[in-house]
């Protein structure tokens, strides 16, 4: 049973590498960010980490949700799986947790005075204040962790590719690593309609 799963994993790995784009011989420092628009249903993602251009080991998701309608609300989400290495996935996750903690601190900071006013209990404000302090401290620790995990060739601690939506068959991406953007454009040269 273990050998079957190993064989399946090896086959999956080989299939992902069929359309691999050759990375630079030496990995330069990340170049400035680029915006790329492509017209396609299927894209060839270079099989290198989108953040540091090292060999990839996992994937991260870049998604966009379009919402419309006044009386009846509608939404549609599209998502792309983008290669990255485990170290960059770790610093992206730490940055995401830091952002979530800061968002929580803002929400608690806004709701605590309101709850205190509604309940006329000062303890609610004190507890809310302590929760805000704890959340800000947790956010700071996660951000420090993300910065510590970020390597010399990493473009950012954030997700290196942002999906900015679509219009018909045209998809819009923001690449924080210009080197990876160049590799993406090379691998999708016939599909690229805008690159700046």
| Cα–Cα distance, 62 to 82 (Å, whole number) | 7
Query: Where do the domains of the chain lie?
Result: 30-64+76-195
Residue the block writes with tokens 């009386």: 71
| Cα–Cα distance, 85 to 180 (Å, whole number) | 13
Mean pLDDT computed over 155-182: 93
Q: How far is CA 33 from the centre of its chain?
A: 15
Among 19-23, 117-121, 150-154, top mean pLDDT goes to: 150-154
Confidence at 1, pLDDT banded by 50, 70, 90: very low
Mean pLDDT computed over 16-23: 46
| Cα–Cα distance, 103 to 117 (Å, whole number) | 22
Q: Tens of pLDDT along 75-121?
A: 999 999 999 999 999 999 999 999 999 999 999 988 888 888 878 78
| Cα–Cα distance, 161 to 179 (Å, whole number) | 12
Confidence at 196, pLDDT banded by 50, 70, 90: confident
Q: Are 181 and 175 spatial neighbours (Cβ–Cβ below 8 Å)?
A: yes
If one compares 122 and 2, the residue with the highest pLDDT of the two is 122
SS3 8: helix
Per-residue pLDDT at 123: 84
Backbone φ/ψ region at 53: left (φ over 0), alpha (ψ -120 to 50), beta = left
Residue the block writes with tokens 């000062």: 122
Average pLDDT, the chain: 84
DSSP 8-state code for residue 26: S
Confidence at 16, pLDDT banded by 50, 70, 90: very low
Element (H, E) at 70: none
User: Residue 194: pLDDT above 60?
Assistant: yes
């Amino acid at each position: 049973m273990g050998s079957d799963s190993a064989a399946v994993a090896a086959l999956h790995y080989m299939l992902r590498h069929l359309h691999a784009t050759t990375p630079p011989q030496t990995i330069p420092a990340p170049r400035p960010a680029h915006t790329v628009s492509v017209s396609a249903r299927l894209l060839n993602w270079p099989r290198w980490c989108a953040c540091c251009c090292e060999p990839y080991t996992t994937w991260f998701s870049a998604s966009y949700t379009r919402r419309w309608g006044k009386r009846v609300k509608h939404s549609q989400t599209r998502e792309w799986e983008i290669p990255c290495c485990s170290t960059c996935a770790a610093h992206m996750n730490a940055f995401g947790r830091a952002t979530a903690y800061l968002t929580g601190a803002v929400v608690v900071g806004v709701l605590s005075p309101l709850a205190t006013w509604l309940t006329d209990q000062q303890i609610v404000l004190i507890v809310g204040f302590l929760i805000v302090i704890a959340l800000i401290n947790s956010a700071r620790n996660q951000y420090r962790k993300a910065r510590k995990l970020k390597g010399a060739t990493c473009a950012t601690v954030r997700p290196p590719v942002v999906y900015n939506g679509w219009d018909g068959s045209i998809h819009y991406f923001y690449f924080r690593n210009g080197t990876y953007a160049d590799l993406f454009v090379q691998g999708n040269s016939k599909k690229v309609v805008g690159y700046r």
